[in-house]
Amino acid sequence: MDNVSRVERSKQMPLVRSKNTKPEMLVRRLVHGMGYRYRLHQADLPGRPDLVFRSHKKVVFIQGCFWHGHKCRFGRMPKSRLEYWKPKITGNKDRDVRTLRRLRGMRWRVLVLWECQLHNLDAVSRLISDKICGQPG
């Protein structure tokens, strides 16, 4: 059962961002502070990756656990309106798979960071160092 009215929920949903989200901004500040430079949301790449490291031919997606169906406590399926949410989240997951496949087919290396991972920024910074700038393109 939803704890807000249908009208209130309709007002809230358009406010959900796809770019410049809090998790994305956190990673962007972290990466910039590490001295790495990147481009944002490059329209010429499949899925418009959140961070693009062109010189390394690598990209980063920062995924919300709920919206992308991650298997963690934040990614649980809602209990109400399953007829809406199940196809929505499944569709997001299917689109993510297609996007990653296309990028890898173009010889791009992809790092997916999940919202739940951002609770340990030390681990995230090590992962970014290793995966983005530690490996040759």
- The reply to whether 121 falls in a domain is yes
The CA distance from 74 to 43, in Å, is 29
- The reply to whether 9 falls in a domain is no
| CATH code: domain of residue 28 | 3.40.960.10
pTM of the model: 0.83
- The reply to whether 129 falls in a domain is yes
User: Which residues, including other chains, have CB under 8 Å from residue 74's CB and lie 6 or more apart?
Assistant: 65, 66, 115, 116
- The reply to whether 93 falls in a domain is yes
- The reply to whether 3 falls in a domain is no
If you count DSSP H runs as helices and E runs as strands, how many of each does the chain have, helices first? 4, 4
Domain span including residue 95? 19-133
- The reply to whether 7 falls in a domain is no
Mean pLDDT of 42-68: 95
| pLDDT tens, position by position, 11-38 | 665 556 567 789 999 999 999 999 999 9
- The reply to whether 43 falls in a domain is yes
The number of distinct structural domains making up the chain is 1
| pLDDT tens, position by position, 60-112 | 999 999 999 999 988 888 888 889 999 999 999 999 999 999 999 999 999 99
Q: How confident is the model at residue 1 (pLDDT cuts 50, 70, 90)?
A: low
User: Which residues, including other chains, have CB under 8 Å from residue 39's CB and lie 6 or more apart?
Assistant: 51, 52, 53, 54
